């Protein structure tokens, strides 16, 4: 068994670079574009083993770079000409499946047309079936939906050469043990299997003994830490809210200079251009900027000519400017090691610094990983309100007036001009002063409309992440306090006639509506429809859920009025009432059941 440390890996020489690991040139080019500099500990230890064809058990937390650790060697082995599934990656949740799929696509950008398909519950079968017919090389999916495709005969695993179990302990905790075992039995005997897990409970060990052949075992203990002089905060936003969040943060934060990190070169240019349009002295640098231009830009940042630098990880290598008081992660990095490197650009030379990260609902796992890796707390901050922005703007406006009043000679000249206007137009001095402020302000309004805050509420899944961070006891207490008056009964257009089960309803609604396990009340399955007690859903949630299908049927979710449609049967058939907020076994990514004390987690 190999034991590696995330911040001080025991590898050197050629393993200290991705090129030294034996990866193809196309992958190395993609890694350079996404800002990867050196392999993390788990990448350096596992990539050579997987490239050599070994089965592998990797024990590592989220955020240690394990996705690249298995994705890169898998991509290196793909035969692009053979358009059938060659690799299968199993993940416990829809969100992780999408993340892994996106990572594969980034790494495969220069490999000549490798197709990656995410398969998960809550998504219509049509899109998945069309992609499978066209041909895919890598399938990333949740066990429940993979099982559904196998049952329908729409997914052929006979040509698999690689299988990856990502976050295997979480899959078992969610009740996927039987599904995982059945899926592995449906794959060829001759294949490479990589299993990644944060822990090694008994069930994981049993799976590895049954389905892996003399696996190498690599353990990574994350120990990345940050200086206590850096305050870490996170702002929960949707992707569409990021630019507004960035400008509001820059307005209310007393920053001297800031680095804004984005994931791609194109994004740096876009963000910098929009900041300049809003009056900030901002510019972009990325890995392909010539060294002389890079040095000029850094000197401008150091001298105060430039206040905001928008950069990729590669572009910020070795950047050391004492003026940098804030680091803003516009896009979160893909691993915790990169996060530590990024925020280390502030809080230098004995100074304090601030690190603010924009976290989308899909990235909430990464936030927990950052806290574990940095051994610190990342405080969740609210979106700066219009009122806070307006207060800051008024303070700056007051300061500008005070500064101008100190310029005695110029004030005297304008005093004569104002007096002349007042005398000839019979207008109060206050009105003239207000009119001059309007002229000075131009077309941009001085104050924000505070009603705009309603459109900037945190995403529903961010609330879910915050709830998930609380203890099971807290959740139980909230359930006991919540009364029937706090829930709304919704009607779904699918019932026992279709063979629907509570677990399918919970899974679909949780995934598509951003709901947590505590949000589900009583589920009553009738013959032609189902009634579900939920907190009141907003318009966005209802719109997303309106496209959801369960067992191929659009659920047509709406508030239940108690009226029944003509010809609709209200009898229940076999009793399926459930007042259970977490089904025992989940095939469509539904929230996990609270484990009993003493069981492996």
Tell me: pLDDT of 471 over 80: no
Where is pLDDT greater, at 522 or 282? 282
Query: CA 558, 560, 566, 572: dihedral to nearest 10 degrees?
Result: 110
Q: Which of 173-182, 487-496, 523-532, 572-581 has the lowest mean pLDDT?
A: 572-581
Q: Which two tokens stand for residue 76?
A: 């290196």
Q: Give 306-324 as a DSSP string.
A: --EEEE-TTTTTT---TTE
The residues that bridge with 2 in the sheet, in sequence order, are: 218
Where is pLDDT greater, at 489 or 317? 489
Q: Which of 129-133, 286-290, 470-474 has the lowest mean pLDDT?
A: 470-474
Rounded to an integer, the average pLDDT of 325-354 is 84
Tell me: pLDDT of 446 over 70: no
- Map tokens 């505070």 to a residue: 450
Tell me: pLDDT of 580 over 60: no
pLDDT band at residue 449, thresholds of 50, 70 and 90? low
Rounded to an integer, the average pLDDT of 123-134 is 88
Q: Which two tokens stand for residue 462?
A: 């961010």
Q: Distance (Å, rounded) from C-alpha 98 to C-alpha 512?
A: 13
Instruction: Report pLDDT for 491.
Output: 92
DSSP state of 436: H
pLDDT band at residue 521, thresholds of 50, 70 and 90? confident
Instruction: Report pLDDT for 571.
Output: 57
Q: Distance (Å, rounded) from C-alpha 38 to C-alpha 477?
A: 46
Tell me: pLDDT of 223 over 60: no
Tell me: pLDDT of 370 over 50: yes
Q: Distance (Å, rounded) from C-alpha 262 to C-alpha 273?
A: 13
Instruction: Report pLDDT for 486.
Output: 63
Cβ-contact 541, 513 below 8 angstroms: yes
Instruction: Report pLDDT for 485.
Output: 44
Instruction: Report pLDDT for 49.
Output: 96
- Residues 252-278 have pLDDT tens digits of 998 999 999 998 888 899 999 999 988
Rounded to an integer, the average pLDDT of 231-236 is 93
Where is pLDDT greater, at 509 or 49? 49
How many helices (H) and strands (E) the chain has is answered by 21, 21
Tell me: pLDDT of 216 over 90: yes
Tell me: pLDDT of 26 over 70: yes
Question: What's the whole-model pTM score?
Answer: 0.52
Tell me: pLDDT of 153 over 70: yes
Q: Could you count the other beta carbons within 10 Å of the beta carbon of residue 442?
A: 8
Cβ-contact 361, 383 below 8 angstroms: no
- What's the angle, vertex CA 430, arms to CA 428 and CA 433, rounded to 5? 115
Instruction: Report pLDDT for 481.
Output: 37
Instruction: Report pLDDT for 369.
Output: 84
Q: Which of 51-55, 97-101, 546-550 has the lowest mean pLDDT?
A: 546-550
- Cα–Cα distances (Å) from 258 to 237, 250, 291, 311, in that order, read 20, 9, 21, 11
Q: Which two tokens stand for residue 566?
A: 């003509």
Instruction: Report pLDDT for 201.
Output: 83
Where is pLDDT greater, at 225 or 387? 387
Instruction: Report pLDDT for 125.
Output: 84
Instruction: Report pLDDT for 10.
Output: 40
Q: Which two tokens stand for residue 122?
A: 């809550």
Instruction: Please choose, from the candidates 583, 468, 594, 434, the residue with its C-alpha nearest in 3D space to the C-alpha of residue 520.
Output: 583
pLDDT band at residue 317, thresholds of 50, 70 and 90? low
Where is pLDDT greater, at 317 or 362? 362
Task: Work out the mean pLDDT of the chain and round it to a whole number.
Answer: 80
Q: Is 246 left (phi over 0), alpha (psi -120 to 50) or beta?
A: alpha
Instruction: Report pLDDT for 222.
Output: 55
Q: What percent of the chain has pLDDT over 90?
A: 32
Rounded to an integer, the average pLDDT of 284-295 is 80
Residue 543 belongs to what H/E stretch?
A: helix 539-546
Tell me how far the alpha carbon of residue 120 is from its chain's centroid: 17
Cβ-contact 284, 310 below 8 angstroms: yes
Q: Which of 84-98, 121-135, 581-595 has the lowest mean pLDDT?
A: 581-595
- Residues 185-195 have pLDDT tens digits of 999 999 999 99
Instruction: Please choose, from the candidates 58, 57, 48, the residue with its C-alpha nearest in 3D space to the C-alpha of residue 215.
Output: 57
Pairing of strands 87-90, 162-165: parallel
Rounded to an integer, the average pLDDT of 511-538 is 81
Rounded to an integer, the average pLDDT of 496-506 is 83
Instruction: Report pLDDT for 461.
Output: 42
Pairing of strands 162-165, 549-550: unpaired
Instruction: Please choose, from the candidates 121, 65, 180, 25, the residue with its C-alpha nearest in 3D space to the C-alpha of residue 510.
Output: 121
Instruction: Report pLDDT for 288.
Output: 73
Instruction: Report pLDDT for 497.
Output: 85
Q: Distance (Å, rounded) from C-alpha 594 to C-alpha 471?
A: 11
Termini Cα distance of the chain: 22
pLDDT band at residue 575, thresholds of 50, 70 and 90? very low
Q: Which two tokens stand for residue 9?
A: 């890996």
Q: Which two tokens stand for residue 330?
A: 């516009």
Tell me: pLDDT of 561 over 50: yes
Where is pLDDT greater, at 340 or 601? 340
Instruction: Report pLDDT for 12.
Output: 47
Rounded to an integer, the average pLDDT of 10-36 is 78
Q: Sign of dihedral through CA atoms 67, 69, 70, 74?
A: positive
Tell me: pLDDT of 437 over 90: no
Q: Could you count the other beta carbons within 10 Å of the beta carbon of residue 44?
A: 26
pLDDT band at residue 569, thresholds of 50, 70 and 90? low
The residues that bridge with 408 in the sheet, in sequence order, are: none
Q: Distance (Å, rounded) from C-alpha 165 to C-alpha 56?
A: 10
- Map tokens 């006991």 to a residue: 480
Tell me: pLDDT of 338 over 70: yes
Pairing of strands 530-534, 488-492: antiparallel
- Map tokens 């050629």 to a residue: 14
């Amino acid at each position: 068994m190999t034991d590696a440390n995330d911040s001080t890996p025991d590898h050197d020489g050629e393993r200290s670079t991705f090129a030294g690991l034996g990866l193809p040139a196309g992958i190395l080019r993609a890694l350079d574009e996404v800002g990867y500099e050196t392999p993390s500990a788990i990448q350096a230890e596992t990539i050579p083993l997987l490239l050599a064809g070994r089965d592998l058990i990797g024990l590592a937390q989220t955020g240690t770079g394990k996705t690249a650790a298995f994705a890169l060697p898998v991509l290196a082995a793909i035969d692009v000409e053979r358009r059938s599934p060659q690799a299968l990656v199993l993940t416990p949740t829809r969100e992780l499946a999408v993340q892994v799929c996106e990572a594969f696509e980034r790494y495969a950008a220069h490999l000549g047309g490798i197709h990656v398909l995410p398969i998960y519950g809550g998504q219509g079968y049509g899109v998945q079936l069309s992609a499978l017919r066209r041909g895919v090389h890598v399938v990333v999916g949740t066990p429940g939906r993979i099982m559904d495709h196998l049952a329908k005969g729409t997914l052929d695993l006979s040509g698999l050469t690689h299988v990856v179990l990502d976050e295997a302990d979480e899959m078992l905790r969610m009740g996927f043990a039987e599904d995982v075992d059945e899926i592995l039995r449906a794959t060829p005997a001759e294949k490479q299997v990589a299993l990644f897990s944060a822990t090694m409970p008994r069930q994981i060990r049993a799976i590895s003994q049954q389905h892996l052949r003399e696996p190498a075992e690599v353990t990574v203990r994350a120990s990345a830490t940050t200086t206590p002089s850096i305050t870490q905060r996170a702002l929960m936003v949707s992707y569409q809210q990021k630019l507004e969040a960035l400008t509001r943060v820059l307005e209310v934060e007393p920053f001297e200079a800031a680095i804004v990190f984005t994931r791609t070169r194109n994004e740096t240019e876009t963000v910098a251009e929009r900041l300049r349009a809003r009056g900030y002295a901002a510019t972009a640098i990325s890995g392909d900027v010539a060294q002389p231009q890079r040095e000029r830009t850094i000197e401008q940042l150091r001298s105060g000519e430039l206040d905001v630098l928008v950069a990729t990880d590669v572009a910020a290598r070795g950047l050391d400017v004492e003026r940098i008081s804030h680091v803003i992660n516009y896009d979160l990095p893909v691993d915790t090691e990169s996060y530590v490197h990024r925020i280390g650009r502030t809080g230098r030379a004995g100074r304090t610094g601030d690190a603010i990260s924009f976290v989308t609902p899909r990235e909430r796992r990464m936030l927990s990983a950052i806290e574990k890796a940095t051994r610190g707390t990342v405080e969740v901050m609210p979106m700066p309100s219009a009122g806070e922005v307006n207060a800051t703007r008024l303070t700056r406006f007051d300061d500008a007036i005070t500064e101008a009043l100190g310029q005695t000679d110029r004030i005297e000249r304008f005093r004569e001009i104002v007096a002349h206007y007042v005398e000839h137009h019979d207008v109060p001095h206050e009105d003239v002063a207000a009119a001059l402020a309007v002229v000075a302000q131009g077309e941009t309004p001085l104050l924000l409309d505070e009603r705009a805050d309603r459109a900037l509420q945190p995403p529903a899944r961010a609330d879910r992440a915050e709830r998930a961070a609380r203890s099971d006891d807290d959740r139980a207490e909230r359930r006991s306090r919540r009364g029937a008056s706090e829930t709304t009964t919704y009607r779904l257009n699918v019932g026992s006639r279709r063979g629907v089960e509570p677990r399918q309803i919970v899974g679909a609604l949780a995934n598509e509506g951003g709901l947590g396990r505590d949000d589900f009340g009583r589920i009553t399955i009738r013959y032609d429809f189902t009634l579900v007690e939920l907190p009141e859903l907003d318009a966005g949630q209802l719109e997303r859920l309106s496209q959801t299908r369960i067992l191929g049927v659009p659920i047509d979710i709406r508030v239940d009025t108690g009226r029944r449609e003509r010809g609709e049967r209200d009898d229940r058939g076999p009793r399926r009432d459930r007042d259970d907020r977490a089904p025992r076994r989940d095939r469509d990514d539904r929230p996990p059941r609270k484990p009993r004390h003493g069981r492996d987690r």
